[in-house]
């Protein structure tokens, strides 16, 4: 580790820890500053301008949730994206530290720490920060939006067949309905269709239809004029207008209430919209792709989804298979995620050993690709060697053989969905974030389902 360069700011409420680091770290950093609380963190950040912040996860002896560390990690990365954050955590906080790294932290150090490990991690964080500082034309207000996730086709016959279909339909304006369990990559497939279409020059506009509240449905999709309602302070173009000349992706279309489906159908049929509070019909030139994890045929039979709307969005139907039905793709997918996260989290990982590969192939993956991705990201963050083994792969073996349950909301009946949502909320003690993660849906989608079932 190069000595005596860079600046580090230490935020820890333990006076003994601050004193020990004030003795150790000046051997490796040109300047070391300590503060006991994040209360003065912003001022210290502005005045001291550190390369690295070593941030404790907890500052209240009576509350050990780690939420303070997560909050300040997010704030630091917003205010100073080039400053690297290293989290200081107890063994019990490691899961929180993993979440912190997902929010932008460089790495974490476990207390009690090993001096060599500590200076190695802090040195690597400092070197990264200083390289970023000297890059030309670096944006000052955060980083650019990531490029869309590429489609992984694999070698399974079902995915190869879908790939051939996409090659045929992508250059057309055919309306596409994508179905499949949560986590199978419906949104990624929609982006793939758009990327190979004649409309790829403009960004695809994606809408989580199941997360839009009923009161805002028309305004979000069709827009509104100034004065249309209390908070309408200016004209607003809805998603249909924003997608003009491009592709509109309506995800979770099966969750749209029946009485709003008629308004959606009218816009799709006429290829025109009228903004809320307006009178002028505005033509829109869109390519429509819809997706759902629900059985729309069953919903039509039950009278909960309009048959005319179903046929209108179902010109081409693509059913994405669950990961358990494309077993030959599991390890290659895992390797792709390992490479991605090893680079992101600076881990010198080369692959999986045989025990890990066998475990990955034999697990049921009820959350599909999303669950696999989350599993590998966590394993990479917590890894210590260069090869991931079965001991590094944390799987919920209690649900590995289930096809229903709290692991994911799939193409199921409304009664089953309500039961699963209710059970998951009970298991997580009402924690929205934890429940949404278990169910494989976004927080807004879960809020919509809670409202739908009166939970």
Number of compact structural domains in the chain: 4
314 and 331, same structural domain? no
Q: What is the mean pLDDT of residues 5-23?
A: 92
Q: Domain for residue 146, yes or no?
A: no
296 and 164, same structural domain? yes
- Final residue before a domain boundary, out of 281, 297, 319: 319
82 and 70, same structural domain? yes
pLDDT range class, residue 63, cuts 50, 70, 90 = very low
Q: Domain for residue 442, yes or no?
A: yes
305 and 330, same structural domain? no
Element (H, E) at 318: strand 316-319
Q: What is the mean pLDDT of residues 300-315?
A: 95
Q: What is the 3-state secondary structure (H, E, C) of 384-452?
A: CCCEECHHHCCCCHHHCCCCCCCCCCCCCCHHHHHHHHHHHHHHCCCCHHHHHHHHCCCHHHHHHHHHH
256 and 299, same structural domain? yes
351 and 258, same structural domain? no
pLDDT at 92 exceeding the cut of 70: no
Percent of the chain clearing pLDDT 90 (strictly above): 51
pLDDT in tens, 428-452: 667 777 777 667 777 777 877 887 7
* CA atoms of 330 and 363, how far apart (whole Å): 10
At residue 150's C-alpha, the angle toward residues 140 and 133, to 5°, is 20
- Average model confidence (pLDDT) across the chain: 85
Which domain CATH number covers 427? 1.10.10
Q: Domain for residue 370, yes or no?
A: yes
Q: Domain for residue 151, yes or no?
A: no
* CA atoms of 295 and 189, how far apart (whole Å): 19
183 and 98, same structural domain? no
Nearest CA-CA partner of 278 in 230, 234, 228: 228
Contact, 209 vs 256, CB < 8 A? yes
DSSP state of 172: S
123 and 31, same structural domain? yes
Which domain CATH number covers 366? 1.10.8.60
342 and 304, same structural domain? no
- Final residue before a domain boundary, out of 399, 422, 437: 399
> What domain range includes position 25?
7-133
Q: What is the mean pLDDT of residues 202-226?
A: 88
Q: Domain for residue 150, yes or no?
A: no
Tokens of 91: 């063994």
25 and 42, same structural domain? yes
Q: What is the mean pLDDT of residues 346-356?
A: 90
277 and 206, same structural domain? yes
For 437-452, give one letter per residue: b (16+ CB within 10 A) or e. bbbbbbeebbbbbbeb
Contact, 420 vs 404, CB < 8 A? yes
The pLDDT value recorded for residue 281 is 92
- Final residue before a domain boundary, out of 319, 341, 361: 319
List, in sequence order, every residue forming a beta bridge with 351; answer none if it has no partner: 387
Tokens of 340: 């991605």
Q: Domain for residue 406, yes or no?
A: no
Tokens of 341: 């996260």
Q: Which residues contact 298 (CB under 8 A, 6 or more apart)?
A: 413
pLDDT in tens, 141-160: 333 334 456 788 989 999 99
For 248-276, give one letter per residue: b (16+ CB within 10 A) or e. bbbbbbbbbeeeebebbbebbeeeebbbb
Q: Domain for residue 309, yes or no?
A: yes
The pLDDT value recorded for residue 303 is 94
Length of the chain: 455
128 and 13, same structural domain? yes
* CA atoms of 208 and 205, how far apart (whole Å): 10
Q: Domain for residue 142, yes or no?
A: no
pLDDT range class, residue 375, cuts 50, 70, 90 = very high
The model scores a pTM over 0.95: no
Which domain CATH number covers 30? 3.40.50.2300
Which domain CATH number covers 174? 3.40.50.300
Cα→Cα distances 206→238, 240, 279, 290, 310, Å: 12, 10, 26, 10, 19
Q: Is 365 left (phi over 0), alpha (psi -120 to 50) or beta?
A: left
Residue matched to tokens 């009402």: 430
* CA atoms of 180 and 170, how far apart (whole Å): 19
* CA atoms of 179 and 202, how far apart (whole Å): 25
* CA atoms of 329 and 321, how far apart (whole Å): 12
């Amino acid at each position: 580790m190069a000595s005596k360069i860079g600046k580090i700011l230490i935020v820890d409420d333990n006076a003994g820890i601050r004193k020990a680091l004030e003795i150790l770290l000046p051997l490796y950093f040109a300047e070391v500053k300590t503060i006991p609380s994040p209360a003065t963190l912003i001022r210290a950040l502005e005045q001291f301008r550190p390369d690295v912040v070593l941030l404790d996860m907890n500052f209240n002896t009576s509350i050990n949730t780690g939420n303070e560390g997560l909050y300040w990690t997010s704030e630091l990365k917003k205010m100073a994206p080039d400053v690297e954050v290293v989290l200081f955590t107890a063994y019990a906080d490691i899961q929180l530290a993993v979440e912190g790294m997902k929010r932008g932290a460089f790495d974490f150090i476990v207390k009690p720490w090993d001096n060599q490990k500590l200076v190695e991690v802090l040195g690597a964080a400092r070197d990264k920060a200083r390289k970023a500082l000297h890059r030309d034309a670096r944006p000052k207000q955060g980083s650019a939006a990531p490029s869309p996730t590429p489609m992984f086709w694999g070698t399974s016959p079902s995915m190869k067949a879908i790939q051939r279909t996409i090659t045929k339909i992508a250059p057309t304006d055919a309306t596409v309905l994508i179905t499949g369990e949560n986590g199978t990559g419906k949104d990624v497939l929609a982006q793939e269709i758009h990327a190979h279409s004649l409309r790829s020059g403009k960004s695809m506009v994606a809408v989580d239809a199941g997360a839009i509240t009923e009161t805002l449905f028309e305004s979000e999709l069709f827009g509104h004029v100034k004065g249309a309602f209390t908070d309408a302070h200016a004209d607003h173009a809805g998603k249909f207008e924003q997608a003009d000349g491009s592709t509109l992706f309506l995800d979770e279309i099966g969750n749209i209430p029946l009485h709003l489906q008629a308004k959606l159908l009218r816009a799709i049929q006429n290829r025109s919209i009228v903004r809320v509070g307006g009178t002028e019909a505005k033509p829109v030139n869109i390519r429509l792709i819809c997706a759902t994890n629900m059985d729309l045929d069953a919903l039509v039979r039950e009278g909960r989804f309009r048959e005319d709307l179903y046929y209108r969005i179902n010109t081409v139907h693509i059913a994405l298979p669950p990961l358990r039905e494309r077993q030959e793709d599991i390890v290659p997918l895992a390797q792709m995620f390992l490479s991605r996260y090893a680079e992101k989290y600076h881990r010198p990982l080369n692959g999986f050993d045989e025990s890990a590969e066998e475990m990955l192939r034999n697990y049921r993956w009820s959350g599909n690709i999303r669950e696999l991705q989350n599993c590998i990201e966590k394993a990479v963050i917590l890894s210590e060697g260069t090869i991931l083994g079965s001991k590094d792969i944390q799987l919920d073996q209690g649900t590995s053989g289930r096809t229903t349950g709290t692991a994911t909301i799939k193409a199921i009946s409304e009664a089953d969905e309500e039961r699963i949502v209710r059970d998951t909320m009970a298991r997580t003690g009402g924690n929205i974030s934890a429940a949404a993660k278990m169910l494989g849906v976004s927080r807004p989608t879960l809020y919509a389902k809670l409202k739908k079932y009166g939970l």
